[in-house]
Amino acid sequence: MKTIGIIGGMSYHSTVEYYMGINNKVAEALGGHASAQIILDSINFQPIRDMQVAEAWDEAGQTLAGHGRRLEAAGADAVAIGTNLMHKVAPAVEAAIGVPLIHIADAVAAQASRAGIERLGVMGTSWVMRENFYTDRLASHGITGVKASDQDADLVDGIIWSELTRGVVTESARQKLVGVIERLGQAGAEAVLLGCTELDLSLSSDVSPLPVIDSTTSHIALLAEFVLG
């Protein structure tokens, strides 16, 4: 079994899902009392959030790179960033470590390809929905990211930061998010990407008008596959 190092805490609500999800898949695969070999570096999110708001991405990259090096030094065979948005600085982390970085967008693209999806509506924070660092990675796997309007990007971003990253889930916000999915479908999306690791707190295939590709569960599956060797 290999050891995975996770940079977590962004936010800690989704990090809990990573820890449980990887362990559950390893236990299911191996049986008995088996569990995953995980080194978790759960960091204080507030300084990272301050860097995001200030657009201090170089500083954020240096910070996460330091955590990646710490995980490698502790014995991690690969490193994962347990959030979508901070993959904006994934190149800085990759450059700083000598082990693989298992990228969340690669996991999403693999899941979409298995489902025969070529056009994927993107939901996440404003940076994920508006910028190209995520959709370019999807495009390298042949998946086209369908972007929402600026108004919908602001709507989703607001719900993520005011509610979901604080562990708050409301029905009114869920219905607004469903409306965004409907409009992504009208724009040509065949399925929707939950491109924030907190969006699955509110959305699921049971309430979505389009098929759902959940970034968290996709990433967990790829990380468990790595752990199992």
Q: Name the residues annotated as catalytic.
A: 83, 196
CB 38 within 8 A of CB 72: no
The whole-angstrom separation of Cα 26 and Cα 224 is 6
Encoded tokens for 64? 């996460």
Judged by DSSP in three states, 50 sits in: helix
DSSP 53-109: HTT-HHHHHHHHHHHHHHHHHTT-SEEEESSSGGGGGHHHHHHH-SS-B--HHHHHH
CB 219 within 8 A of CB 7: no
The whole-angstrom separation of Cα 14 and Cα 38 is 15
Encoded tokens for 217? 């569960």
Element of type H or E holding 147: none
